[in-house]
Structure 1
């Protein structure tokens, strides 16, 4: 890819980052931002996202010059990157709420000095709330010293902005205030719905999109039946570690702070394993000490909530266990993606029992702090996880990658999951007639009646559900309503997903309020099946 920037890009790659070649889409992303274009980069964990903005920040041949502003979700992640870049000789500073006035003032003076830093790291909260920082940005813009904005871990714009960090929703103001500054958004995980929301909320609808396969071929995926009782599953995890990874580094995810501490304590005291706990309420100094001990290998096992892991660059994590049910498949993929970043074989084990799903669903439906739209969204996401856990036939990779609308040839799994290794031949049943009726029902709803219907809602209609949404929309008056009432939900979901994987269905996203929703449609070229 010969461009006006190529020679400098290759020189900085070698002299600053000590690399000789690029991974997939890195050069394309770097070239796009140096050319002044907006770009959305979807790259699997360990794919090298950071280089996509770190390298152009030290180049001088781009169409925009000055400081690269990197907006990141976590202070610890920013600190890790600052230290790494300083070791490479890159001029980098950060603005965050933990700094005192003296340090904030020093950073501000650096930004306004003749010799400016290459990169500034900042949290979205600081960007939103600091009037002085915004004054500095406006001055840099007026003087032509804003090179680009980078939104790292950009799925947080949707997931965290939706749930609890409003400052993420307001990042779209960057395009309004600084219309000539290119924006780069990066994430390891984004399905069609999340990708659409990222582009809409950041106002980069016409950006260049660079994506690649989300498959991690070195990861082994398994779902295991979870023992009853609070300590039963801890014994299962301990036995797995002692048998398969006695001296290896790993992460165990739990759903609550209390469970996190309990699991770590039992692993230490009863099973003599080097386990420490990590969650949002742990003191900042203790968090840093635990993370450093784990990074250095003094501590082998971190027992954590979702507060741990984003941006953690430890290549030799050999296992990730889920003690508790993930809230959605996106979070599950993010968390399992922390294993095997060095490319070596690693295990991802999820311990599942249905009672956990029932309790999680009840917690969602009785949560007074979320509206109906968000409640329905969370229930739908949880149902996808439940289906993944209960489907003991289809390839695990096929299921996870389908969530991201990626088609996958199961032969490429190469027995890299429990279902593909299962020697028992699956029961064969001809479901052609049911599949054809499902297509006809979907077409009647989405084409003839112009209805917007999600995947889970279609499954409800197929199974003859009498829930409020079905009745309100009149879907129970469809001639094919309840066509699968005598078939269990898991089988209907498998048929719908198989039709999707065959290309007969597609997902479209439509904005509604602050967020987009993903709806199912019948592909026009398959209307002959109806």
Structure 2
């Protein structure tokens, strides 16, 4: 123990006297965090009656000498009895904001700090860490007996912290009665809602049990509430504050930028799995990493493939027994296993600093989830890689999971399906943007802007060797803004996706039913490659010429409608040329993937066919192929699938009925020749692309 009170203060003079708190993150590039924090000034912090004890517990209990950004402010406000909202990136040190006040004897409210947390693995990890620090903590879950719970919560000294899941809190009358008894005895210090985005219908991880947490304010009105999350946009924050009933809360946030992480999107080409394993072996041999998969079976399959290649790997998913999950987690956390292959639930609250890579084997369900999952990497501040492997098929798989009626999802309402599909589509947009800095894209999603236009070599787009092409899109950009203004004048609502479809000349059901195809600007951008058109519309939002306005529906869900931004009128008045730099999507020849008939000598036999393509969705970017080019034969990858009454032929997951196909010849493995009207084949492929984009 320190010999004197002064020893506690040694080395602490910089904790509150400047704004450069040491952190594993570098916030030097932060120019515009998503929200302004209510931060106390240094003199107010040091003069707080709680400051001395806070410093003592920081060093004596947690063995730390310095605070990270906003930690001290949040702790002082919590001890002052205020509601607190903490929005910090993954690895930013949120847990200390409520764990340290819980071990302080002083404060406006004292007693038990009740921590509501969504995952058992998360709670076990934190409880174990606190117990190693000799903190009195109780985990109330299904493994705790009724006698044990009563002994800990009703008899003798109360624990400093009690961890409980929202489901346990909702379903257990005993737990509710215990909280009421503590409240009546003024022994409830505060409620802590960890992963608070789970309460919001805006959040991708919305959980029904979190909905009832709004009763905490009603039942225990004088108990302060602290909400914490690493994943929340502006609308999610507002929703959380409203649902929890936070009053005059102290709000703390910081930059979402993780400069030590490198973001890469890789297409799933031929032998991409082998390339992934080669990358790990070459760049991170025997290093700790996480590979995220969409399903349980896929986790086990990928883990087996890694083992077969000689990697140290284990799988982790919700279908495992608790003992198996604990074993896999302990093996990975201790370093005896290098790679954990897991579903998205893995990692919440897991504090492992030396993760050198996070790989998404399949498409994440949302950018919120992607940011949080990549945040497991590089918590020690050292460089780490975040690689996302992408193909359209993954989006369709997620879309089917969202829409299938028998899935285990109690929120399968039309509004929920629309919301989740839009979240997945935003990830597709991110993957398809091959021009803009990945880091800037992510920060913009979280309402943060950087002055820099590039992160150097911190992402694949900025490090790309293929030069960008500059294109004048003034006419098309003005057309989009005029379109939004016309809808706004008529007091009609329109989404960004609908604007995009109108400009593309899409023939979707929505476009036709609302007669958007009659508008003057319909099809104006049909000569633009899809990725360029997408980037142009996003650029208008980035520049505040357009913006999305969230509207609450009667069902309680939100829809984002596009409206004119603060810079719209100036943009329309200006004669300034609008140009976009973009990088064409390169094929094997380095040219844009618009296929043409092969320029070779006369083909023989079954090879007398038209272009061979891996993805029919990329066969023709814009215009249907002319008859002279197509003839009446096209070769694609696919499978022959017998129908109920007639044969149907599936071309990369899209079916051409037997009545439209003249004949079919099977060629080799998963290759078929379909003889049919070329416009029919083209339209089928176009419909598939429309389904992805609409």
Normalised by the size of structure 1, how large is the TM-score? Answer: 0.93
Distance in 2, matches of 1:383 and 1:160, equals: 15
Distance in 1, matches of 2:513 and 2:74, equals: 46
Contact 2:481 2:568 in 1 (8 A): no
CA shift at 1:12, angstroms?
A: 1.8
Gap change, CA 1:222 and 1:71, over 3 Å in 2: same
CA shift at 1:227, angstroms?
A: 3.2
Where does residue 303 of structure 1 map in the other structure?
Answer: 341
Give the secondary structure class of the aligned counterpart of 1:429.
strand
Distance in 1, matches of 2:52 and 2:131, equals: 24
Residues 431-480 of structure 1: per-residue CA shift (max 9 Å, x gap): 1222222222223323x233444433332343344444455666556544
Give the secondary structure class of the aligned counterpart of 2:163.
strand
Where does residue 322 of structure 2 map in the other structure?
Answer: 284
CA shift at 1:243, angstroms?
A: 0.8
Task: Say yes or no: does 1:143 pair with 2:143.
Answer: no
CA shift at 1:164, angstroms?
A: 7.2
Gap change, CA 1:49 and 1:451, over 3 Å in 2: farther
Q: Which moved more, 1:452-461 or 1:74-83?
A: 452-461
CA shift at 1:366, angstroms?
A: 4.0
Where does residue 359 of structure 1 map in the other structure?
Answer: 397
Structure with the greater alpha carbon radius of gyration: 2
Task: Say yes or no: does 1:490 pair with 2:527.
Answer: no
Distance in 1, matches of 2:221 and 2:508, equals: 46
Where does residue 511 of structure 1 map in the other structure?
Answer: 552
Gap change, CA 1:508 and 1:175, over 3 Å in 2: farther
Superposition pairs of residues 373-412 of structure 1, within 5 angstroms: 373-411=415-453
Q: Which moved more, 1:196-205 or 1:27-36?
A: 196-205
Give the secondary structure class of the aligned counterpart of 2:471.
coil
Where does residue 490 of structure 2 map in the other structure?
Answer: 449
CA RMSD in angstroms, aligned pairs only = 2.2
Distance in 2, matches of 1:407 and 1:48, equals: 23
Gap change, CA 1:315 and 1:511, over 3 Å in 2: same
> Which of 499, 504, 529 is equivalent to 1:458?
499
Give the secondary structure class of the aligned counterpart of 2:325.
helix
> Which of 542, 545, 550 is equivalent to 1:501?
542
Give the secondary structure class of the aligned counterpart of 2:82.
coil
Equivalences, count:
522
Distance in 2, matches of 1:469 and 1:196, equals: 31
Q: Which moved more, 1:469-478 or 1:60-69?
A: 469-478
Unaligned runs of 5+ in 1: none
CA shift at 1:286, angstroms?
A: 0.8
Where does residue 299 of structure 2 map in the other structure?
Answer: 260
Contact 2:231 2:368 in 1 (8 A): yes
Contact 2:257 2:443 in 1 (8 A): yes
Distance in 2, matches of 1:342 and 1:101, equals: 40
Runs of 4+ in 1 over 6 A off after TM superposition: 159-164
Contact 1:395 1:410 in 2 (8 A): no
Give the secondary structure class of the aligned counterpart of 1:155.
helix
CA shift at 1:163, angstroms?
A: 6.7
Distance in 2, matches of 1:135 and 1:102, equals: 15
Distance in 2, matches of 1:135 and 1:364, equals: 38
Distance in 2, matches of 1:126 and 1:77, equals: 15
Task: Say yes or no: does 1:157 pair with 2:224.
Answer: no
Distance in 2, matches of 1:164 and 1:191, equals: 14
Contact 1:9 1:56 in 2 (8 A): yes
Task: Say yes or no: does 1:62 pair with 2:100.
Answer: no
Residues 398-428 of structure 1: per-residue CA shift (max 9 Å, x gap): 1111211211234562310011001222111
Task: Say yes or no: does 1:166 pair with 2:208.
Answer: yes
Higher-helix-fraction structure: 1
Distance in 2, matches of 1:6 and 1:524, equals: 43
Q: Which moved more, 1:6-15 or 1:317-326?
A: 6-15
Distance in 1, matches of 2:513 and 2:72, equals: 51
Distance in 2, matches of 1:169 and 1:478, equals: 43
Task: Say yes or no: does 1:193 pair with 2:239.
Answer: no
Task: Say yes or no: does 1:117 pair with 2:156.
Answer: no
Where does residue 24 of structure 2 map in the other structure?
Answer: none
Higher relative contact order (CA 8 A, sep 6+): 1
Task: Say yes or no: does 1:130 pair with 2:172.
Answer: yes
Gap change, CA 1:365 and 1:146, over 3 Å in 2: same
Distance in 1, matches of 2:530 and 2:102, equals: 51
> Which of 92, 103, 128 is equivalent to 2:148?
103
Gap change, CA 1:241 and 1:468, over 3 Å in 2: same
Gap change, CA 1:213 and 1:505, over 3 Å in 2: farther
Give the secondary structure class of the aligned counterpart of 1:413.
coil
Distance in 2, matches of 1:160 and 1:298, equals: 39
Gap change, CA 1:329 and 1:134, over 3 Å in 2: same
Where does residue 457 of structure 2 map in the other structure?
Answer: 415
CA shift at 1:206, angstroms?
A: 4.5
Distance in 1, matches of 2:204 and 2:453, equals: 37
Where does residue 49 of structure 2 map in the other structure?
Answer: 4
Distance in 1, matches of 2:509 and 2:80, equals: 51
Gap change, CA 1:40 and 1:474, over 3 Å in 2: farther
Contact 1:196 1:516 in 2 (8 A): no
Give the secondary structure class of the aligned counterpart of 1:17.
coil
> Which of 197, 215, 235 is equivalent to 2:274?
235
Where does residue 79 of structure 1 map in the other structure?
Answer: 124
Distance in 2, matches of 1:116 and 1:391, equals: 54
CA shift at 1:515, angstroms?
A: 3.1
Where does residue 88 of structure 2 map in the other structure?
Answer: 43
Residues 21-60 of structure 1: per-residue CA shift (max 9 Å, x gap): 2111112211222222222211011110001111111223
Distance in 2, matches of 1:171 and 1:55, equals: 23
Give the secondary structure class of the aligned counterpart of 1:445.
helix
Contact 1:82 1:92 in 2 (8 A): yes
Distance in 1, matches of 2:258 and 2:506, equals: 37
Distance in 2, matches of 1:146 and 1:102, equals: 21
Contact 1:193 1:516 in 2 (8 A): no
Distance in 2, matches of 1:53 and 1:208, equals: 14
Contact 1:398 1:409 in 2 (8 A): no
Q: Which moved more, 1:503-512 or 1:328-337?
A: 503-512
Q: Which moved more, 1:498-507 or 1:146-155?
A: 498-507
Task: Say yes or no: does 1:225 pair with 2:267.
Answer: yes
Distance in 2, matches of 1:13 and 1:517, equals: 44
Distance in 2, matches of 1:311 and 1:227, equals: 34
